[in-house]
């Protein structure tokens, strides 16, 4: 695992002044944030947050953005989504530490129809390619914790061994944490890349979930 002494250098700028459109719930022993679209789609996405936690306003903003595109969004468990949200199709998205978890989950649980790993640190192991369903990987060119050499190695292994759809996108000039950076922290040069990455995330979910 790359640079474990710095587990989450997420460059997300200051916290958003954002209360969220959803609500907090207790799912067995887990506290979670749930936000829903205005109509029932039968779909859901689990978001696994970065090291700053599920209460970070920036993470809730991303959750609400995904929900606004037709998905029930919850940082919780499959059981809750199926029983309480009546979700029939489920995807998963994760940022940084959560991106690592998404990579792991997509190799273990076929219940997830699609996954998006956003600057997830690449595991130092032989098996990083046994994906069960389509997975999108988003990386930053100037990420201090994920060297491009590791991205290249992941690309090679997936190209050689992976049997499902996948995509790896590396965004020029960007740093760790760029996708959930708040709007006022975006420079004119960075904003197109941030918007594109968010759009790619939603399009991947629309295509496969």
Residue of 10, 50, 85, 176 with catalytic role: 176
Active site residue: 50, 75, 85, 143, which one? 143
Instruction: Read off the tokens for 160.
Output: 């050689």
Tokens of residue 110, six digits? 């076929």
- In the residue annotation, 186 being an active-site residue is answered as no
Residues 96, 50: contact at Cβ < 8 Å? yes
What does the alpha-carbon distance between residue 75 and residue 122 come to, in Å, rounded to a whole number?
Answer: 22
CA distance 201 to 209: 12
- Is 86 designated active site? no
Q: Which is it for the CA torsion 73, 94, 205, 56, positive or negative?
A: positive
- Rounded Cα distance between 173 and 168, Å, is 16
Strand 135-140 and strand 166-171: the pairing is parallel
User: What tokens appear for 107 in the block?
Assistant: 């190799």
Spatial strand order in the sheet of 89-95: 23-27, 30-35, 72-74, 43-48, 89-95, 112-118, 135-140, 166-171
- 120: which DSSP letter? P
Active site residue 85: no
Identify the active-site residue in 50, 75, 85, 96. 96
Q: DSSP secondary-structure letter at 129?
A: -
Q: Which residues are catalytic?
A: 96, 143, 176
């Amino acid at each position: 695992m790359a640079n474990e002494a710095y587990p989450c250098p997420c460059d997300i700028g200051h916290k958003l002044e954002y209360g969220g459109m959803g609500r907090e719930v207790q799912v067995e022993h887990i506290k979670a944030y749930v936000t829903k679209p205005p109509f029932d789609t039968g779909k859901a996405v689990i978001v696994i947050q970065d090291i700053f936690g599920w209460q970070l306003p920036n993470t809730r903003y991303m959750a609400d953005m995904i929900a606004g595109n037709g998905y029930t969004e919850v940082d919780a468990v499959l059981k809750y989504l199926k029983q309480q949200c009546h979700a029939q199709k489920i995807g998963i998205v994760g940022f940084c530490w959560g991106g690592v978890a998404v990579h792991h989950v997509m190799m273990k649980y076929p219940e997830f129809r699609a996954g998006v790993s956003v600057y997830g640190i690449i595991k130092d192991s032989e098996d990083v390619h046994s994906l069960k369903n389509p997975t999108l990987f988003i990386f930053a060119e100037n990420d201090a914790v994920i060297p491009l050499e590791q991205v290249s190695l992941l690309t090679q292994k997936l190209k050689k061994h992976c049997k499902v759809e996948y995509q790896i996108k590396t965004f020029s000039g960007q740093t760790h944490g760029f996708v959930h950076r708040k709007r006022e922290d975006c420079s004119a040069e960075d904003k197109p890349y941030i918007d594109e990455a968010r759009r790619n995330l939603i399009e991947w979910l629309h295509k496969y979930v």
